[in-house]
Amino acid sequence: MPSNSIEESFAAAAAAFQRDQLLPLAAQLRATGRAVFASGPDETVESYFTPAERPTFGAEDFMLGDIETPAGLVAALLAHWRAGKRSELETLASGLRELIEQSAPLAETQDDSLSPYLYVMY
């Protein structure tokens, strides 16, 4: 539960993003037969296993580039969505950028060794 006005403001903005952008996009995708996540098992599929295109990965495969700024993080997400042929998610970019920018005051309480856009659990 948010404990101060900054947290409350951000929680309200995050709820609005979900309500106004995520949920309508998910409904639109479901209506066209494309779900963001499977809502249950697909009885027509014998296995969900697919062999990896590349059997090994290097450290560079896990680097996202500049995720230290709101614009950099959104750019990395856009590149990931385009590479994965999920261009319909691009409509979320401006709302995500605004939400990330609103989260900046919350990052001030976080350890400087981590990106301010990573969630700290403990």
Q: pTM of this prediction?
A: 0.65
CA distance 35 to 26: 7
Question: What dihedral angle (degrees, nearest 10) is formed by the CA atoms of 73, 74, 76, 81?
Answer: 140
Residues 33-59 pLDDT 10s: 887 777 778 888 888 888 888 888 888
Handedness of CA 61, 66, 69, 73 (dihedral sign): negative
Residues 71-107 pLDDT 10s: 888 888 888 888 888 888 899 998 988 888 888 777 6
Helix residue ranges per DSSP H, 1-122: 5-17, 23-31, 70-83, 93-107
What the block records as the tokens of 73 is 């993080």
